[in-house]
A = this chain, B = another copy of it.
Amino acid sequence: MSEPSDSTDPASTPRPWPRHGSRIGAEYRIFRSRFDDLENPRTGQRMERVVLETPDWVNVIALTKDSQEIVIVKQHRFGSGGNTIEIPGGMIDPGEEPLVAAKRELREETGYVATKWTALQAVAPNPAFLDNHCHHFLAEGAALDETQELDAGEDIVVTTMTQAEAIEAVHSGAISHALVVTAFAQVFDLRRNGIERSLGR
């Protein structure tokens, strides 16, 4: 046990963790494992920690031209073992610009193309063990123009939701993919009803 390390100096930053070595682990198609030999600067203790070297991801809030509805993909997800309600997205190819990947994923997964693209703030999906970012985009003026071109590992149902339906789906948990929520939060007010009461603002 120790005193909180920053009760007097809010500007202090954590110490670096010396890395004494690193070894490559298994390759998993969507990421590769790496094991770093790290030293805790607080205790001097050495430990091995896994990092998944992962391509950057991208996803897109695409609003339809006529009704400003959100283009939605529904698909079976292997991790959760169930269907999800998401926005289009995927892995960025090696050397591909995030915007190019966003346009490609929207077109391939849904057949929609859009006229106006705005980059939103990227997030780190989980800096504890992933080294990547997820890039978010807002695409406006979306219209069905092309046909789907699904990857071998995809079977995707395309639909649209109104903005109000999508916000309600986040509140109910029907939309629960964290990286959909981090995109939506930049465009829609996702606060729970009545939450302001608690906050003393």
Contact = CB atoms under 8 A, between A and B. Distances in A.
Of A4, A41, A49, A76, which is in contact with the most chain B CB atoms at under 10 Å from its CB? A4
B129 A76 contact: no
A196 to B, nearest CB: 9
Interface residue tally of chain A, by bracket?
A: 35 or more
Interface string A42-57: 1101010111100000
B16 A76 contact: yes
Given A185-B181, A191-B188, A79 B63 contact: no
* Number of chain copies forming the complex: 2
Contacts of A5: 148, 156-158
Contacts of A178: 123-126, 134, 178-179, 182
B4 A121 contact: no
Interface string A119-144: 01111111111110110001010001
Contact of A1 (B28, B148, B170, B187): B148
Given A10-B160, A13-B157, A68-B200, 18 more contacts: A4-B144, A5-B158, A7-B144, A13-B74, A15-B155, A40-B155, A41-B155, A51-B79, A63-B199, A123-B177, A124-B176, A125-B126, A127-B177, A133-B176, A140-B198, A163-B199, A178-B178, A187-B191
Interface of A: 1-7, 10, 12-17, 25-26, 28-30, 33, 36, 38, 40-43, 45, 47, 49-52, 63, 68, 74-84, 110-111, 116, 118, 120-131, 133-134, 138, 140, 144, 147-150, 152-160, 163, 170-173, 176-179, 181-182, 184-192, 195, 198-201
